[in-house]
Each structure stands twice: as structure tokens, then as C-alpha cells.
């Protein structure tokens, strides 16, 4: 009699907000055991409660660690393993940013963005490999950005850090392949995502940071993280507009630079309603975590697209016979990430009415409207 497969385990850094939190909720909804890692223990407690309200009975644990502290990150991984079992997937989703001209950004701020966004990914990957290589299996997902194809103005620290993340992933992927390892490394390139990143980022522009349209809902990015984690590794572009952006950079860097320079970087994109976000940052969270409640959404929900045609096509491709799921993963199509939020603005799911709105009224924000088109920056 064959031994039944155990439930898979995922560990996610940057899990108290944005893409990390939304990905944790998606993995939990699909039956995974989820370990959440972030700097603030209080925010992690809130994040676990939010996910538990969306998916009652989910197996969750959390461990506080700053990704620039490799020893704390190793301790967090050991804590997650003790509580949930061996880690099958590790997601590096922690990141931060500073907006402003390079000469206006201090050396201390620039270094902090590089430490968290790039070296935090390196530290997380090192810890993940320590747990996966002895078993010769596992998957690492590095959440990168479309800015790797061409850096954008007023984000030099972030653009440089994300470019380093991509090159690091390429090098490591080949090293593992040459060693005959079964550990997979995936790099995800999302577009602008409506997350609290823009509230948390420091700004030297005279107004708060904001995404450059088109903007997508964090559920789209979470779907991409899940597809990358359960796929065959390698690089994964999340939407069709990023594909076009990448192709233009291959065709002509001068043309790509011209198009980027014509983007509306120098004006403020208004939020939906500042009053709807009572935990909006009054100060950036570059060096210290905020005491505010955790949120998946940022302040641009009415402008955010809730689905991607390209991602749906990727999902179909992944279900073809040539695509092998992770051992123990159900063959049936799991619930979509959009199931984690109401189908229309203002609607509430039963789970949300049962727990999230009662116990955590500020844990989310207005949900994005669905559109019939698809693009990215």
C-alpha cells in the first residue's frame, strides 16, 4: 500500500502585506500549509488572522525576521519547519523602495533598498537551499519586476536591486542544473501591482509614490507566484504588456528609453479615497515596520485590473500533459485567486462576513473592478 502524499508547505517573506500576503492567502485556499515571515510579529499575527478568516481551518504559522538578518531568517525557517513540516516552496516577496532623483536619495536609503530587495532575496534563497538541497527537491520563487527590462527614472535603487535579483536567479539556476539538482528557481516579472508598497515607500518627489498605469490587483500577482512555484522554474512574465515591453527593449534600448521617459512619472496619481485607508502610512516603512494593519490592496483599486489574459493562457498551458505538478498537488483545477475577493466592488464573501470584517475591519481595501482588456507596464 502506497504512503499518501503529505500536504505541501510554503514559506513566504514579505508576507504581512501586498503580494506576499495575497500569495499566502492563495496557497492556504488551495490546501497548502503556509509559513509567513515579516519584520513585525504584531503584523504577522494580524495577517494570520485575516487568512484564517478567509480560509477556515488553514494550517498557518508565522515567524518574525528581517530578511537582511540571515541568522534570524534561518531561525524563522526552522520554526516553520517544526510547526508545518519540510518546506517545499520558498517565496522571496520582501521588497521596499525610494522614489526620487538619484542625487536626492541618501546613501543610507539607497543601501537599505539594495539590502532588502536584493540581498534579502539572496539570504532567503540561501536559507531555502539549506532546507531543500538535502532532500534534492523544492522550488524557490523570486518576485522580481518589469523594471529589469529597462530601469525607470526616480527609482534607481529599486531598478538596480531588481536587475540584480534577475541576474542572481539566472546564475543560480544554471549552477543547480549543472549540479544535477532537482531544486527549481523561478523568477516572476509582474507589472505595477496595487499594493501598500506605494504607501510604504519613501518619496523625495514632493508627493507620495504611486504606480504607473496600467495597474493590476494583487490577486493577479498571487496567481503568478503560484504558477511559478508549481511550474518547472525559469523566468515567467506575468502579463502581455510586460512581454511587449521586454520585446521593445530587445529591439531598441533607445526606443525603450524614449518610451519610458514619456511615461507619466512626474505627476501624482490620486488615490481612490484617502479616508478609506485609515492605516495609510504617515511615514515610510523603509527602516522600521509600520504599526498599521496588514493589507493586500493599495489605494488604487478602482484603477486596478483584476485579471490578465496572458496569465489565463499560461494557466491553460500549465494544465497540458507535458506539465508536471509538484508531488501531492491535486490534479483538479484549484480555486482561482479571484475567489479570495468579492466578484464586484462592495460585495462580501461569506468568509469575510464571518471573520474579516468583524475582527479586522481595516485589513483590506476596496476591490478592483474587472475589465475586458489586459496590459502592463
Positions annotated as catalytic residues are 158
The CA distance from 375 to 377, in Å, is: 7
The kind and range of the H/E element at 168 are helix 156-178
Number of Cα atoms under 13 Å in the Cβ half of residue 83 = 17
- Using N-to-C axis directions, what is the helix angle for 120-132 and 70-84, rounded to 10°? 40
Q: Please give the Cα distance from 205 to 190 (Å, whole number).
A: 24
| Residue appearing with cell numbers 522554474 | 233
Q: How far apart are CA 225 and CA 322, in angstroms?
A: 20
328 contact partners, CB below 8 Å, separation of at least 6:
5, 6, 7, 8
Query: Rounded CA gap, 179 and 176, in Å?
Result: 5
Phi, psi of 48 (to 5 degrees): -60, -40
Amino acid at each position: 500500500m502506497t504512503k499518501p502524499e503529505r500536504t505541501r508547505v510554503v514559506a513566504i517573506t514579505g508576507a504581512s502585506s501586498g503580494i506576499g500576503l495575497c500569495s499566502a492567502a492563495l496557497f492556504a485556499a488551495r490546501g497548502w500549509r503556509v509559513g509567513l515571515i515579516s519584520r513585525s510579529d504584531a503584523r504577522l499575527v494580524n495577517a494570520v488572522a485575516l487568512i484564517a478568516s478567509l480560509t477556515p481551518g488553514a494550517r498557518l504559522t508565522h515567524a518574525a525576521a528581517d530578511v537582511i538578518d540571515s541568522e534570524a531568517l534561518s531561525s524563522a525557517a526552522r520554526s516553520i519547519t517544526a510547526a508545518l513540516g519540510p518546506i517545499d516552496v520558498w517565496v522571496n516577496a520582501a521588497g521596499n523602495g525610494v522614489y526620487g532623483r538619484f542625487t536626492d536619495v541618501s546613501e543610507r536609503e539607497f543601501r537599505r533598498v539594495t539590502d532588502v530587495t536584493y540581498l534579502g532575496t539572496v539570504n532567503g534563497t540561501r536559507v531555502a537551499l539549506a532546507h531543500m538541497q538535502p532532500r534534492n527537491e523544492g522550488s524557490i520563487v523570486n518576485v522580481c519586476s518589469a523594471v529589469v527590462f529597462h530601469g525607470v527614472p526616480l527609482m534607481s535603487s529599486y531598478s538596480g536591486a531588481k536587475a540584480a535579483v534577475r541576474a542572481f536567479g539566472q546564475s543560480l539556476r544554471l549552477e543547480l542544473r549543472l549540479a544535477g539538482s532537482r531544486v527549481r528557481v523561478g523568477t516572476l516579472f509582474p507589472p505595477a501591482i496595487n499594493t501598500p508598497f506605494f504607501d510604504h515607500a519613501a518619496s523625495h518627489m514632493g508627493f507620495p509614490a504611486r504606480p504607473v498605469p496600467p495597474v493590476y490587483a494583487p490577486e493577479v500577482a498571487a496567481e503568478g507566484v503560484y504558477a511559478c512555484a508549481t511550474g518547472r522554474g525559469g523566468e515567467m512574465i506575468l502579463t502581455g504588456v510586460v512581454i511587449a515591453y521586454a520585446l521593445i527593449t530587445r529591439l531598441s534600448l533607445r526606443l525603450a528609453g524614449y518610451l519610458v521617459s514619456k511615461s507619466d512619472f512626474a505627476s501624482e496619481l490620486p488615490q481612490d479615497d484617502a479616508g478609506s485607508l485609515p492605516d495609510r502610512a504617515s511615514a515610510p516603512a523603509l527602516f522600521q515596520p509600520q504599526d498599521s494593519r496588514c493589507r493586500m490592496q493599495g489605494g488604487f483599486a478602482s484603477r486596478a485590473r483584476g485579471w490578465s489574459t496572458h496569465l489565463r493562457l499560461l494557466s491553460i498551458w500549465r494544465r497540458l500533459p507535458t506539465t508536471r505538478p509538484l508531488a501531492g498537488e491535486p490534479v483538479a483545477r484549484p480555486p482561482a485567486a479571484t475567489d479570495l475577493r468579492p466578484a464586484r466592488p462592495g460585495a462580501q464573501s461569506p468568509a469575510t462576513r464571518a471573520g474579516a470584517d468583524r475582527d479586522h475591519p481595516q485589513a483590506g481595501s476596496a476591490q478592483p473592478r474587472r475589465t475586458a482588456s489586459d496590459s502592463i507596464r
